[in-house]
Amino acid sequence: MDGVELLMELRDALESRHSIRSFTSDPVPRKLLEEVLSAAALAPSPFNEQPWRFYVASGESRVRVGEIMTQNTSYFDEFMTLVGMEPTEEHLRWYTEMGGAPVVVACTMPKVDDKFALLQKQLTMGAAIENILLAATEAGLGTCGITSGYWVRDLIGEALGVPEDRTIIAMIVMGYPSDEQPVAPPHNFDIAEFRD
């Protein structure tokens, strides 16, 4: 396979990946989850630190995470204000039900105080999360990355057995997309300034 063919396959995955907000209740086989999550290990990190650790909730643990997210509704208006959106009942329902996804992945990194170390780890985690989202797309799974659990991250961490020296920075809801899927939104490709 030459580089052009490989680039086209990657481009197809990039273009077909979009946030899914409605899932079937079908369970995702553990082997498939392991395969998708292994893509995160291929992400770049400074000095190959690999700061990520993922906690996968399905079954009873997924139910518990859902219960905690429902408690999160008291912070919903604050969250929506921070992301610059007007809160609606539809948004509230989605953030408490998480689209009915059968799997929730808590994405964690070590707690750090230094601002530069924090920035490095956050950028690294973003790369690892994107790898997961693309691998899930390739595997026929739908995903949606969420940060709305920020206010209850300690409760979610406790429910999933996340050690105290780590923090949840994002979650990924995952499962098989339902039949009713939104069209991917348009993207602005005018994003670079070129200097000669």
pLDDT computed for residue 4 by the predictor: 55
pTM equals: 0.87
pLDDT digits (tens, 9 = 90+) for 82-100: 777 776 777 677 777 889 9
Is residue 57 helix, strand or coil? strand
Beta strands 142-146 and 166-175 are antiparallel
CB 20 within 8 A of CB 142: yes
Residue 59 has which token pair? Answer: 């079954």
Band of the pLDDT at 6, cuts 50, 70, 90? low
pLDDT digits (tens, 9 = 90+) for 8-35: 588 888 888 889 989 999 999 999 999 9
Q: Domains along the chain? A: 20-175 (3.40.109.10)
Q: What is the mean pLDDT of the chain?
A: 88
Partnered with residue 173 across adjacent β-strands are 104, 144
Tell whether the model's pLDDT for residue 174 goes beyond 70. yes
CB 103 within 8 A of CB 175: yes
Lowest mean pLDDT among 11-25, 125-139, 175-189: 175-189
Helix axes 89-97, 59-71, angle to 10 degrees: 150
pLDDT digits (tens, 9 = 90+) for 56-82: 999 999 999 998 988 766 667 777 777
pLDDT computed for residue 1 by the predictor: 46
Tell whether the model's pLDDT for residue 181 goes beyond 70. no
Report the pLDDT averaged over residues 45-50: 95
pLDDT computed for residue 151 by the predictor: 84
CB 151 within 8 A of CB 107: no
Tell whether the model's pLDDT for residue 169 goes beyond 50. yes
